[in-house]
Structure 1
Amino acid sequence: MQEVSQASLARLYQRFRALDKNKKGYLCRVDLQQIGALAVNPLGDRIIDSFFPEGSHIVDFPGFARVLAHFRPVEEEDTRVRDAKEPEPLNSRMNKLRFAFQLYDLDRDGKISWDEMLQVLRLMVGVQVTEEQLESITDRTVQEADEDGDGAVSFLEFVKSLEKMNIEQKMSIRILK
């Protein structure tokens, strides 16, 4: 497993405490909205939602660190062979893809429906594209990824459609800066 240095963990804890303006020992949605990288990300609200397990409105430091671990850049020089018994690092390609898939799969049914894809694309392109163009892009995106013809994108289809993308580096947020 990729080790996080004590210094990095200490800096992350300092960042957590800086976001916790009222020294509550936990963060809420408003606290997380202060993170610049999330504020400018079109999926920022969905990423913020991922900090809060169902029904929860607060996140403690371990939960904060666990979610952010998905966004930790992958060290390219880390070529060690991982023990099969070791859990896969949260910032591995597959875990980054699982996390990204959940940002699209709002109803958590294991598939990205046409409507869910449209919602995400609408967030990502904003007002530069007409609704008709957006629906056309959604049609094409779902069609290209949907190999079994069920009109939705499964996790495996999602993974396959992104196989050429450098997700390890593109899905990184430098939280400590």
Structure 2
Amino acid sequence: MGSCSSQAALIPDVDQILRETGFSQASLLRLYHRFQALDREEKGYLRSQRVDFAGFARVLAHFRPVDEEDATTRDPKQPEPLNSRMNKLRFAFQLYDLDRDGKISRNEMLQVLRLMVGVQVTDEQLESITDRTVQEADEDGDGAVSFMEFSKSLEKMNIEQKMSIRILK
């Protein structure tokens, strides 16, 4: 089997993906092999969403554990890493903001929660959870949750740990 470096050269735009995601070459190579296994039809993207490997790696980079050493030695001229607290929050917010209007409406929250919990919770319970969640986070009383309200409602939560997958180190 060839060296990690020579195998990584087979990945399209490998240098750019390494810079953007912060993954090591070995981690990126493991992800690439996993991507190829998921891409059974060998189209270079996954299903109808047309997620190519670079997009696949960028999404997973949000879940890379935060390396304290990287955080203290990061060049301030470089963009914030995808696995930073703020980028993890932005990623999570975008999962709820289905219409991309910069706000999470009650209906969007309900739709996403329904997808996440499936049939384990009754509609009444789900609506109650949704109403309480929006009410607690909605500081300006507009019936929706902005990114700032979303961030503030999660300020005491250890997002860096909760949105990390150890195998992505």
TM-score for the superposition, normalised by structure 2: 0.78
Residue segments in structure 2 that go unaligned for 5+ positions in a row: 1-18
**Structure 1 stretches of 4+ moved >3 Å:** 76-79, 173-176
Of the candidates 32, 39, 51, which is equivalent to residue 59 of structure 1? Answer: 51
Deviation (angstroms), 1:77: 4.9
**Greater displacement, 73-82 / 101-110:** 73-82
Deviation (angstroms), 1:69: 1.0
**Deviation digits for residues 88-110 of structure 1 (CA, Å, limit 9, x no counterpart):** 00111111110110110101110
Q: What is aligned with 1:24?
A: 43
Q: What is aligned with 2:11?
A: none
**Deviation digits for residues 84-136 of structure 1 (CA, Å, limit 9, x no counterpart):** 21100011111111011011010111000011111122223332332222222
Question: Cα–Cα, structure 1 residues 77 and 151, in superposed 2: closer, same or farther, change >3 Å?
Answer: same
Q: How many equivalent residue pairs?
A: 149
Q: Residue 73 of structure 2 aligns to a residue in which SS?
A: coil
Richer in helix (by share): 2
Distance 2:166 2:38 in 1: 15
**Greater displacement, 9-18 / 118-127:** 118-127
Q: What is aligned with 2:73?
A: 81
The structure with more radius of gyration: 2
Distance 2:135 2:129 in 1: 10
Q: Residue 120 of structure 2 aligns to a residue in which SS?
A: coil
Question: Cα–Cα, structure 1 residues 71 and 161, in superposed 2: closer, same or farther, change >3 Å?
Answer: same
**How high is the sequence identity, in percent, across the aligned residues?**
83
Q: What is aligned with 2:86?
A: 94
Question: Cα–Cα, structure 1 residues 60 and 146, in superposed 2: closer, same or farther, change >3 Å?
Answer: same
Task: Verify: 1:15 aligned to 2:34, yes or no.
Answer: yes
Q: What is aligned with 2:121?
A: 129
Question: Cα–Cα, structure 1 residues 124 and 60, in superposed 2: closer, same or farther, change >3 Å?
Answer: closer
Task: Verify: 1:151 aligned to 2:143, yes or no.
Answer: yes
